[in-house]
Amino acid sequence: MIKGIIFDIDGILVDSEPLHAASIVETLKSLAEKPIDFQPESLIGLSLDETLDRICVNKESIFELKKLMADYYLKQLNKSMLRPGIQELWQKLVAQNIPFGCVSSAEMKICRGNIALINLPLLKEVPLVSCDCVAHTKPHALPYITMLKCLGLTADEVVVLEDSDTGITSARGAGIENIYAWPHGLSNTQCYIDAIKVIKNLGEIPFIREILNN
């Protein structure tokens, strides 16, 4: 029986992947690094450290780059980037006392910045597992195993929403089968073979449809 929901953040709560790509490009420009050529869709599901490694950034610059990228991202982040139905769903989850949490490959301050876009009661503390909370991030199973423990639920008691194959692999590794892929504009390189279904809107998930109708 499904009792709760685990959300990825970037791409699921917020259509933020283009902004993450822009933060990389603009920050490197500001530091007069060499121009970079990369496809943003190839970086979906990666942590920032993995992203910077993929685009061959000078390792001596990484600490400063990460700070500047986070600052750029948080300044540009806005409510128009929330994905359709997320705010209503979260408000109903709180009202109906349904357990939920988030698992992300991003740093905690980025996760909190994204979640702050959703109007929730001030007393609601959303459980978060970010890349700086665990020894191994996605596609390792540890982030989802950790979140299941936080929620006090088993793998067969949750629904997962993910936008990347990396995240789906992580959830599968934790024994979760009810994984739904929710694509966005930069999802064209994802396969979603291990997702139970690829959805176009939240109402396609029976457990969520029931919550939204109450």
The full set of domains in the chain, from first to last, is: 4-15+80-213 (3.40.50.1000), 17-76 (1.10.150)
Q: Tell me how far the alpha carbon of residue 188 is from its chain's centroid.
A: 17
63: Cβ contacts below 8 Å, ≥ 6 apart: none
- Per residue in 105-115, pLDDT (tens digit) is 999 999 999 99
pTM of the full structure? 0.85
Matching residue, tokens 């396969």 = 191
Q: Report the DSSP beta bridge partners of residue 6.
A: 101, 160
In the sheet that 100-103 helps form, which strands lie side by side, from edge to edge?
128-129, 100-103, 4-7, 158-162, 179-181, 197-198
Task: Using DSSP, state whether 212 is helix, strand or coil.
Answer: helix
What separation in angstroms does the CA of 112 have from each of 72, 90, 103, 107, 115? 15, 15, 12, 9, 5
Which two tokens mark 113?
Answer: 């910045």
CA dihedral 126, 130, 134, 138 (to 10 degrees): 120
User: In this predicted structure, what is the pLDDT of residue 135?
Assistant: 95
Q: What is the pLDDT of residue 24?
A: 75
Q: Which two tokens stand for residue 111?
A: 């996760």
Nearest-angstrom CA–CA distance, 177 and 138: 16
Q: What is the pLDDT, as a whole number, of residue 45? A: 46
Q: pLDDT value at position 66?
A: 74
Residues of the chain scoring pLDDT < 70:
29-63, 121-124
Q: How many CB atoms lie within 10 A of CB 91?
A: 15
161: enclosing H helix or E strand: strand 158-162
